[in-house]
Amino acid sequence: MEEKGNQGKEMEEKEEKGSLVKRKEGGIITMPFIFDQFVESDHRKMTKTWTFFNWYFFVMGASILRASTVLVYIQDNVGWGWGLGIPTIAMVFSITIFVIGYPLYRITDPSGSPYTRLLQVIVSASMKRRLPVVSDPVLLYVNEELDASISADGMLHHTNQLNELQILDKAATVTEEDNLKTLQKPNLWRLNTVHRVEELKSIIRMGPIWAAGILFFTASTQQNAISLQQANTMDRHLTNSFQIPAASMSIFSMISMLTTIALYDRVFVPFARKFTGLDRGFSFLHRMAIGFAISILATFVAGFIEVKRKHVALASGLVDNTNSILPISVF
């Protein structure tokens, strides 16, 4: 009975901790909110947007760096009360500042679920799948008044980059069955506007880019999880009396990121701008390609380090002793 009672308490504690994590993950989503504060049609402001996000990540990285050093030290040497209390105070302070700035924010009015719009395009295109593709895009249905709430930064125009996506244009093809009347809102499950069709096309075209992001997240997961376990089994001493906690090993990646961001905005972008003619220095795809290449190289290096670590463990006879420290420096 006592064992069942202890198990019940453990389950309750796990549920409480899980609910706290869910509340934390469901907080303010800053990235899209920040992007809404900039007007895409204003070229000068959009140029400042990229610089703003670079320094946004710089400040975020600096915060993580402090958390990985100062807070870890406090948790290990002072106590978990202060270790958790300081982030709580910082969070309350940041939320207060966020709320105070409410009158200055550019608020985007709700315009319905985007998933519903995408589904409507798919359904209407499926219902008209037997129709021929319209040869002249001018004949496709356009309703700027209907799309006003979802096109605050400009209307999307018809594109024909992939022949396979032309079937979606049928969703904007007007037929007699649509019973379309002047100044009357159409049945969006039968007829959609070019803007809504282009939204779905844009998402489909982004599919390969999203898939390529697997490379980056694989490398990131390796850094955040496996590298911590590796550091726990390696010598982390900087001097005979000073040892870096395993939880603070992420400071090196943070320092690297902060240095790169500072150099990128002040050195790389002005230099690349002379050759590319782009205000932001590199195009989005070029930036992603460079990041993916660095992630791949970092993963290869981590793999070689793991091979060497295992060789040292075999040579020292410590393979089965998971709590031992191997005679190999983490540096």
Q: Which two three-digit tokens encode residue 25?
A: 């993950």
Q: Which two three-digit tokens encode residue 13?
A: 């504690």
User: 53, 54, 57, 29: which is closest to 254 by C-alpha?
Assistant: 57
Q: In the block, which residue shows the tokens 């904007």?
A: 172
CA distance 122 to 192: 10
Contact criterion met (CB below 8 Å) for 188 and 142: no
- Local confidence pLDDT in tens for the 331 residues of the chain: 455 555 556 667 666 666 666 666 655 667 777 777 776 555 555 666 667 777 787 887 788 778 777 887 787 778 888 888 888 898 899 889 888 988 888 777 777 788 899 999 999 999 988 888 888 888 888 888 888 888 777 788 888 877 788 889 888 888 887 776 666 788 889 889 999 999 999 999 888 888 888 777 777 777 667 777 777 777 777 777 777 777 677 777 778 777 887 787 778 888 888 887 777 777 878 888 888 888 788 778 878 888 888 887 777 777 667 677 777 777 6
163 DSSP assignment: G
| Distance spanning both ends of the chain, measured CA to CA | 50
Contact criterion met (CB below 8 Å) for 185 and 179: no
pTM: 0.66
Angle, in degrees to the nearest 10, between helices 114-127 and 194-205: 100
